[in-house]
């Protein structure tokens, strides 16, 4: 595992501070919590939310304060209006962990295994080491539109890259990934919203995260790509800081 340079850490914090200021401009503050049972309860009852992903559900995956946490955005009244969870997974071969379902549910041994219906000619990236999986991203329906203080942009476009930057430093990540449905709207969320530069169609069939039929793509970033993303957005601020 490579180590962060002093400049890496400075740029990461500068980026985090900048994005927090944007959220503060619309009255939102971030809070981190390692109680993943609370995350599962909250997401399960949140309006217009997807089911709790098995990868981030302590009832189905082995989660603890060393490998998982969630963040939430609160409004001025203290209400949670957005949330996201992170789970760090140390792997020798991420694709093998997907094939064996180990990445999806690892609290108990799998008794009945079913092969996943991967896309033909799938070329999965060679991912090893410290990898965080983002999951359970939710924004309250009342907050899903554009915001003038964000230049007309949506919260997702600020919050998703922000939580990735926090996870990058906290878990000392080598990789970051997420799984999205293969639809135009979800592809746009991953590409334009979260800023993932890489994606591949993964499987079409039973999806262990939700135990349902789905068409799923895998998106990912390396540490270098995460730092480049941050550098592009802090370059001007960093030059002013050192002027």
The verdict on residue 226 lying in a domain is: yes
Sign of torsion, CA 234 200 163 169?
Answer: negative
pLDDT bracket for residue 5 (50, 70, 90): very high
pLDDT tens track for 67-124 = 999 999 999 999 999 999 999 999 999 999 999 999 999 999 999 999 999 999 999 9
- What's the pTM? 0.94
The verdict on residue 51 lying in a domain is: yes
Locate 53 and state its tokens.
């992903």
The alpha-helical segments, DSSP class H, found in the chain are 6-24, 36-45, 94-99, 155-170, 184-188, 223-242
pLDDT tens track for 45-61 = 999 999 999 999 999 99
Locate 28 and state its tokens.
């939102």
Sign of torsion, CA 187 131 47 28?
Answer: negative
**What average pLDDT score do residues 138-157 get?**
96
- How does DSSP assign 14-52, residue by residue? HHHHHHHHHHHTTT-EEEEE--HHHHHHHHHHSTT-PPP
**Which residue, 78, 108, 103, 77, is CA-closest to 90?**
103
The verdict on residue 1 lying in a domain is: no
Locate 146 and state its tokens.
């554009």
At residue 139, the pLDDT reads: 97
Domain of residue 37: give its range: 6-242
CA distance 223 to 58: 27
Q: Which residues are CB-contacts of 98 (< 8 A; sequence separation ≥ 6)?
A: 104, 116, 124, 202
The verdict on residue 92 lying in a domain is: yes
CATH number at residue 225: 3.40.630.30
Query: Would the pLDDT of 24 be above 70?
Result: yes
Instruction: Name the domain count of the chain.
Output: 1
The verdict on residue 45 lying in a domain is: yes
C-alpha distances in angstroms, 50 versus 21, 59, 137? 28, 17, 9
Query: Would the pLDDT of 243 be above 60?
Result: no
At residue 130, the pLDDT reads: 98
pLDDT tens track for 199-228 = 999 999 999 999 999 999 999 999 999 999
Locate 227 and state its tokens.
């730092």
C-alpha distances in angstroms, 242 versus 71, 132, 134, 172, 233? 31, 32, 33, 25, 16
């Amino acid at each position: 595992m490579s180590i962060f340079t002093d400049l890496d850490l400075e740029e990461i914090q500068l980026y985090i501070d900048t994005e927090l200021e944007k959220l503060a401009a619309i009255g939102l503050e971030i809070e981190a919590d390692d109680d993943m049972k609370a995350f599962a309860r909250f997401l399960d009852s949140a309006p217009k939310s997807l089911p709790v992903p098995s990868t981030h559900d302590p009832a189905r995956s082995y989660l603890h304060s060393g490998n998982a946490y969630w963040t939430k955005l609160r409004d001025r009244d203290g209400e949670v209006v957005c949330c996201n969870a992170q789970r760090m997974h140390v792997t020798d071969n991420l694709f093998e962990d997907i094939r064996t379902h180990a990445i999806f549910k690892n609290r108990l041994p799998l008794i009945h295994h079913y092969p996943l219906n991967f896309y033909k000619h799938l070329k999965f990236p060679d991912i090893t080491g410290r990898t965080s999986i983002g999951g359970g991203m939710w924004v309250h329906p009342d907050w899903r539109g554009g915001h003038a203080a964000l230049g007309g942009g949506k919260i997702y476009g600020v919050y998703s890259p922000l939580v990735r930057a926090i996870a990058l430093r906290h878990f000392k990540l080598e990789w970051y990934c997420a799984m999205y449905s293969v639809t135009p709207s979800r592809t746009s969320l991953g590409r334009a919203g979260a800023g993932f530069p890489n994606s591949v169609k993964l499987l079409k069939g039973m999806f262990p995260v939700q135990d349902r039929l789905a068409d799923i793509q895998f998106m990912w970033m390396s540490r270098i790509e995460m730092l480049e993303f941050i550098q592009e957005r802090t370059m001007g601020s960093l030059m002013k800081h050192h002027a």
